[in-house]
Amino acid sequence: MEIAEIAKMIKNLPDFTGKPAVALETTIISHGMPYPQNVKTALAVEQTIRDQGAIPVTIGILDGEIKIGMTPDEIEEFGRRHAEIMKVSRRDLAYCVSQGRSGATTVAATMILASLAHIRVFATGGLGGVHRGAQQTFDISADLEEFSRSPIAVVCSGPKAILDIPLTLEYLETKGVPVIGYQTPNLPLFYTRDSKYHLEAETDTPEAAAKLIETTSLLNLHQGMIFANPIPAEYSLDGAKMEKVIEEAVNEADDKGIKGKDLTPFLLAKIVELTGGKSLEANIALIKNNAKVAAQISKALNK
């Protein structure tokens, strides 16, 4: 693709100003779940957002072309081709586009592209963060850094439970990123509704969340924020049991020397195996729930 073509493509990205749009990432499709559950979940999440009267906008890169709003056929292609699709964060965006590659956007990359299209709310499952053992490996997700750069409100079920939660919270505090409990005073831990980690801020309605987003914009803070939304009670897994499962998966990854971009997909797949599929059911349920809340917040924000 020539430079002029790339410039034109970026200039002509869709503009969702004043529309109740909700951005969706694509690493969940390509790296977060097996086929065909990944495609079924992606389409179901989009429908959840439509049912709330908002616009789902799945974001990815196909053969070098930025897709802000993928079609069902493109989502199907992502699901089938998952093994050959790049996992794209901030550092990979320019390479993926300029070289005509296909890439699935992480939280960080989705935030960047959503911001270009003037989308202000983004729904995902769980955040990347500071990995266990980061004191030695320095393995810290670029997702955290992006919150201090891109003004996107992200609805999630807290950091992924495979992470070092206290260090992740410390990193976010250092970067000045608000972590707000949505109808909860404590940080949800992805598969589990509650935790011992108390949050300083809490909000309980889409309107209150929208007011917070708009105030952040008026103050010209130019940063993102996190709305931590607990998994539905009927899908919440036992925290102590999940911690043992996660420790087993982390130890196996260490023994096999798995790290970097390969670590999170390996751990999530191993946890699915060790829980007999219960963690996958929980993952799907929490993503749909986050999409519902994100749609409600986006509608309130755009009234």
The string of pLDDT tens digits covering residues 158-204 is 998 889 999 999 999 999 999 999 999 999 999 999 899 999 999 99
Residue partners of 136: CB distance under 8 A and separation at least 6: none
Residue reference for tokens 């729904």? 123
Q: Quick check: 121 and 21 in contact, CB under 8 A?
A: yes
Report which of 40, 128, 45, 114 is spatially closest to residue 78, judged by C-alpha positions: 40
Domains plus CATH for the chain?
3-301 (3.40.1790.10)
Active site residues: 25, 160
pLDDT tens, residue order, the chain (303 aa): 789 888 888 888 999 999 999 999 999 888 778 888 899 999 999 999 999 999 999 999 999 999 999 999 999 988 888 778 999 999 999 999 999 999 999 999 999 999 999 999 999 999 989 988 888 888 899 999 999 999 999 999 999 888 999 999 999 999 999 999 999 999 999 999 989 999 999 999 999 999 999 999 999 999 999 999 999 999 999 988 988 998 999 899 888 988 877 787 788 888 989 999 899 899 999 999 999 999 999 999 998
- 153 DSSP 8-state letter: E
Q: Percent of the chain, pLDDT > 70?
A: 100
